[in-house]
Chain A
């Protein structure tokens, strides 16, 4: 018992633990995913915002540097226009401006060719810074025809200010430079052709430094591209000034990048993604306001989510630890709570063995366990009680059933079952069968022969069960006793009816068909009491027309009408009860009168037994396994015809020699009747003794007297009659000799009558008028 407890609890508690933990895991995973998704989104937004901000900051910084240059140029332009007739002042101007603005690397005002006739073709005052010194000179010369240089030509043509592409100052230390060119117009408005270009050179090292110091996330960086897309700054120094975004895109075979380059040139700012060198990167770019340069920040997309990873890891670890703890705790709790269950199971096993008195584990809590406990306890008591009463009932039932079985046996023993019942009666052949239903039933049949009359009945007591079988037994014995002293069919029925109707508190009744067949004449009288009319077969088969009267036991004093019929040879009867015609199959279809008629009509049967057996088979075929609800009874009777009486006689003279004739007579009789030779010999002997006695004693010494010997076969009896007209002589008067006397003492005579008595069954003598009639009967 103790062993069972942990085994039971382990599976249940581990199931509970499993379910709870699974649920926790599921819930946790869902929240994790939600968290992950929203965090991701937030991080993305944050990163983009940050990228944007950083870029914007740099832009601002750049603008802080670039816009003064623009302002400076504009200022210079204005001043130039003021000093337009003093070219030398303009030269001074460049010097002063360069001096005042240390960020300027160089400044020049380049005029159209021969603007000042006195100044020559190339008037272009220019001051530049070299180390700490400022050097002023003329920029233009035959070697340097500035009219065709970009910084001059382009603004001249476009009429707008122009930031040049970055370039290396080959003269001044290879610094990265850019030049701002501002075209000057005569008038206030920008009409006509500009007369001069103000240009300012600035170094881009500060730009490079600023931008280079930008760091986005882990490996993100910033880059500046010129108006043509050339890399001005880039962490990969090889790209600076050597490649544009377009050439780079070609090198990487990245069409997407080329597109991005184009959109950088077209749009002011944008946020795109592209896969560079196998890594998906986000690119945020924006146009520098004062030039058409672009600043872009590039960072791997995956780095956005880096912070997320560490958090996720922490969460997973927390989860695992939490789950472990949870499983331990739950497991403990469940085990403890379910502890009583194991004990209950063990107790139930003991109860199942039959010991109802086992103690159940006590439950203190007022919960489902308590409910289970109370239920078990109640069941325990009820089982005990139930088993007790069941045992009583079962033994009672067994008793009743055994009594029922005995009643059935008694019922079956009351009906004659040996066949053929009257083998010696050649007039009839008969067979009957009664198949009882499951319960003791009320069908009956009976027959017997009395004084050459066959009395037969078939009947059905209403209802089933013991009362019916009792009434069946009563009816049968009443039939036997009444028909002993009443031979009229109607009278017998009335007698039966009377006896059954009296004291019939239960209102049961019996249907009955009674027939009395005179075997010597073939005349049958019959009376029906509400029973199924039998089937009669002569040359055709039909239902025998019977007056129904009333079933027996219903109305005392009812006048039963009997009927009579002369039977032809080979007439067959089939009597049956409604157990046959009302035999049901599973679909509750009845066998029916029609089918019965057709079956009997349709076939010739060699004997009543063959008929009944075949009919039974046909009924079983119909029933097809359905349960039999009523007794099935059949009685088949074949009347072959009145037996020819066998009668012969011979006249003998009272001479001893005539014995030989007697001998022949007996021999022929034996042959004709098919008798055995030893029987014939015995008959011969008996007759010889009888006749010799007559010759000797009835006709002592009287000649020419007659003795008549006749023989008749009556059913089973062979009757010999010896008649003579002699003196009264009764051979039966002789006493039997003592056959145990020894030879010496045996008297010689007296054996004749003794032998006759030994051989024959019955020996009688009567004197009728003057005739001795000596009759000997031999039962065959």
Chain B
């Protein structure tokens, strides 16, 4: 699992996710995304081109991120999410919690 965080000109943050976010890597993902949560940006783009797999542990981290952003009045936007992953989000009702592009 690898993430790449980049700050954009308009103060939004893009996070490129690649690999799996499962029980083993969920903790790493949580650590890696911590600066994004504390960064204070109101817009976070999650680029999911390389995002292959997610388990419930991974979903948990997204939920934490979303709660934090909501508290701030910000949004989390998923981009180019693979259909299988999207399926999981749909199944769990997570699709309703986020925005997608």
With a CB–CB cut-off of 8 A, which chain B residues contact A657? 24
A265 to B53, CA, bound (A): 161
User: Which residue on A lies nearest to B20, using beta carbons?
Assistant: A663
How many Å from the CB of A688 to the closest CB on chain B?
5
B93 touches A (CB below 8 Å): yes
Beta-carbon contact of A685 and B55 below 8 Å: yes
Known A-B contacts A659-B22, A678-B87, A689-B56; the reply to A742 vs B63 at CB < 8 A is: no
A739–B57 CB distance below 8 A: no
Which residue from A681, A739, A752 sits with its C-beta under 8 Å from B84? A681
B70 near A755 (CB under 8 angstroms)? no
- Tell me if A207 is interfacial: C-beta within 8 Å of chain B: no
In the bound assembly, the distance between CA atoms of A744 and B66 in angstroms comes to: 8
Within 8 Å by CB of B53, from A681, A751, A754, A755, lies A681
- Decide: A751 near B60, CB < 8 A? Known: A739-B92, A743-B97: yes
- Assess whether B60 is in contact with A749, with CB atoms less than 8 Å apart: yes
Q: How far is the CB of A589 from chain B (nearest CB, A)?
A: 65
Taken together as a complex, chains A and B put the C-alpha atoms of A678 and B54 apart, in Å, by 12
- Residues of chain A from 726 to 772 with CB closer than 8 A to chain B in the complex: 739-740, 742-744, 746, 748-749, 751-752, 754-755, 758-759
What residues of B have a CB within 8 angstroms of the CB of A684 in the complex? 53
* Min distance, Cβ B85 to any Cβ of chain A, angstroms: 9
Distance between B94 CB and nearest chain A CB, rounded to angstroms: 8
**B32 near A: Cβ within 8 Å?**
no
CB nearest neighbor in A for B61: A748
The distance in angstroms between the C-alpha atoms of A755 and B60, with both chains bound, is: 13
Taking CB atoms, residues of chain A closer than 8 Å to B57 are 692
Mask, A669-687, CB within 8 Å of B = 1, is 0000000011001101100
Q: Is the CB of B88 within 8 A of A744?
A: no
- Please tell me if the beta carbons of B84 and A688 are within 8 angstroms of each other in the complex: no
Contacts A660-B24, A689-B55, A739-B92 known; A678 to B60 CB distance under 8 Å?
no
Nearest CB of chain A from residue B58's CB, rounded to whole Å = 10
Interface of A is mostly: helix
A754 to B97, CA, bound (A): 17
Summed over the interface, the residue pairs from A and B with CB atoms below 8 Å come to a total of 64
Q: Which residue of chain B has the shortest Cβ distance to A692 in the bound complex?
A: B23
A279 within 8 A of B: no
A656 within 8 A of B: yes
- Decide yes or no whether B67 CB sits under 8 A from chain A: yes
Cross-chain contact B23 with A755 (CB below 8 angstroms): no
Residue of chain A at shortest CB distance from B95:
A739
Q: Which A residues are in CB contact (< 8 Å) with B70?
A: 743-744
Query: How many chain A residues have a CB neighbour from B under 8 Å?
Result: 28
A681-B84, A688-B23 known; A755+B56 contact, CB < 8 A: yes
Which of B23, B83, B84, B91 has the largest count of A CB atoms less than 10 A from its CB? B23
Contact yes or no, B56 A752, CB < 8 A: yes
B:54-101 near A, CB below 8 Å = 54-57, 59-60, 63-64, 66-67, 70, 83-84, 87-88, 91-94, 96-97
Taken residue by residue from 35 to 63, chain B's Cβ proximity to chain A (1 for < 8 Å, 0 otherwise) reads as 00000000000000000011111011001
User: Is A742 a contact of B97 with CB atoms below 8 Å?
Assistant: yes
B residues near A740, Cβ cutoff 8 Å: 93, 96
Residues of A within 8 Å of B59, CB to CB, are: 751
B66 partner, pick from A660, A677, A743, A751, beta carbons under 8 A: A743
- State whether A748 and B64 are in contact (beta carbons under 8 Å apart), knowing that A678-B87, A740-B96, A743-B97 are contacts in the complex: yes
**A678-B56 Cα distance, complex, nearest whole Å:** 17
> Which of A656, A677, A751 has a CB less than 8 Å from the CB of B92?
A751
Q: Find the B residue at minimum CB distance from A739.
A: B93
Residue contact B97 to A688, C-beta cutoff 8 Å: no
For residue A390, give the distance in angstroms from its CB to the closest CB of chain B. Answer: 70
Evaluate contact between B64 and A755: CB separation under 8 angstroms.
no
B75 to chain A, nearest CB (A): 11
Q: In the complex the two chains form, what is the Cα distance from A688 to B96 in whole Å?
A: 24
Are B93 and A685 neighbours in the complex by a CB distance under 8 Å?
Answer: no
Q: Which residues of A contact B23 (CB under 8 A)?
A: 656, 659, 688, 692
Pick the contact of A754: B66, B83, B92 (CB < 8 A).
B92
Q: How many interface residues does chain B have, given as a range?
A: 20 to 34
Q: Which residues from chain B contact A682 at a C-beta distance below 8 Å?
A: 84, 87
Contact of A755 among B66, B88, B96 (CB under 8 A): B88
Task: Name the residue on A nearest B27 (C-beta).
Answer: A656
Known interface pairs A692-B23, A692-B55; A685-B67 also in contact (CB < 8 Å):
no
Determine the chain B residues whose CB is within 8 A of the CB of A749 once the complex forms.
60
Contacts of B53 in A (CB 8 A): 681, 684-685
CB distance from B32 to the nearest CB of A (A): 17
**A656–B24 CB distance below 8 A:** yes
With a cutoff of 8 Å between Cβ atoms, the chain B residues found around residue A656 in the complex are 23-24
Distance from A381 Cβ to chain B, minimum over Cβ atoms (Å):
84
Q: Are A748 and B63 closer than 8 Å at their CB atoms?
A: yes
Partner of A746, one of B55, B56, B87, B97: B97
- With the chains together, A749 CA to B55 CA distance in Å? 12
Taking CB atoms and an 8 Å cut-off, the chain A residues in 647-675 that contact chain B are: 656-657, 659-660, 663
Q: Determine the chain B residues whose CB is within 8 A of the CB of A689 once the complex forms.
A: 55-56
Considering the chains assembled together, what is the distance between the CA atoms of A78 and B22 in angstroms?
198
When C-beta atoms are compared, the residue in chain A nearest to B71 turns out to be A744
Q: Which residue of A lies closest to B69 (CB)?
A: A743
What residues of B have a CB within 8 angstroms of the CB of A752 in the complex?
A: 55-56
Q: How far is the CB of B11 from chain A (nearest CB, A)?
A: 22
User: Provided the pairs A739-B92, A744-B70, A758-B91 are in contact, do residues A751 and B24 lie with their beta carbons within 8 angstroms?
Assistant: no
Rounded to whole angstroms, the CA-CA distance of A133 and B84 in the bound complex is 185
- In the complex, how many angstroms separate the beta carbon of A303 from the nearest chain B beta carbon? 136
With A678-B87, A743-B66, A758-B91 known as contacts, the answer to whether A751 contacts B56 (CB < 8 A) is yes
* Residues in B whose Cβ lies below 8 Å from that of A663: 22
Q: Which residue of B lies closest to A688 (CB)?
A: B55
Complexed CA–CA distance, A677 and B82 (Å) = 13
Min CB distance, B76 to chain A, in Å?
9
Q: Is the CB of A743 within 8 A of B92?
A: no
Q: Which residue of A lies closest to B59 (CB)?
A: A751
Contact A688 B92 (CB under 8 A): no
Chain A residues whose CB sits within 8 angstroms of the CB of B55 once the complex forms? 685, 688-689, 692, 752, 755
Does the CB pair A755–B84 fall under 8 Å? no
B87 partner residues in chain A, CB cutoff 8 A: 678, 682
Which residue of A678, A685, A743, A758 contacts B63 across the interface (Cβ within 8 Å)? A743
Determine the chain B residues whose CB is within 8 A of the CB of A754 once the complex forms: 56, 92
Q: How far is the CA of A660 from the CA of B23 in the complex (A)?
A: 10
Contacts of A660 in B (CB 8 A): 24
Chain A residues whose CB sits within 8 angstroms of the CB of B64 once the complex forms:
748
Q: How far is the CB of B68 from chain A (nearest CB, A)?
A: 10
A744 touches B93 (CB 8 A): no
Complex CA–CA separation, A678 to B52 (angstroms): 11
**Nearest A-chain residue to B23, judged by Cβ:** A692
Min Cβ gap B48→A in Å is: 14
Which residues of the other chain, B, contact A739 by a CB distance below 8 angstroms?
A: 92-94
A-B pairs with beta carbons under 8 Å apart, 21 shown? A663-B22, A678-B87, A681-B84, A684-B53, A685-B53, A685-B54, A685-B88, A688-B22, A689-B55, A689-B56, A692-B23, A740-B96, A742-B97, A743-B97, A748-B64, A751-B56, A751-B59, A751-B60, A754-B92, A755-B88, A755-B91
Q: Which 6 A-B pairs have the closest CB atoms?
A: A739-B93, A751-B56, A743-B97, A752-B56, A692-B23, A743-B66
Interface positions of B (Cβ within 8 A of A): 22-24, 53-57, 59-60, 63-64, 66-67, 70, 83-84, 87-88, 91-94, 96-97
Q: A692-B23, A743-B70, A752-B55 are in contact. List 13 more A-B contacts (CB 8 A).
A: A656-B23, A659-B24, A660-B24, A681-B53, A682-B87, A685-B54, A688-B22, A688-B55, A740-B93, A748-B60, A748-B64, A755-B55, A755-B56
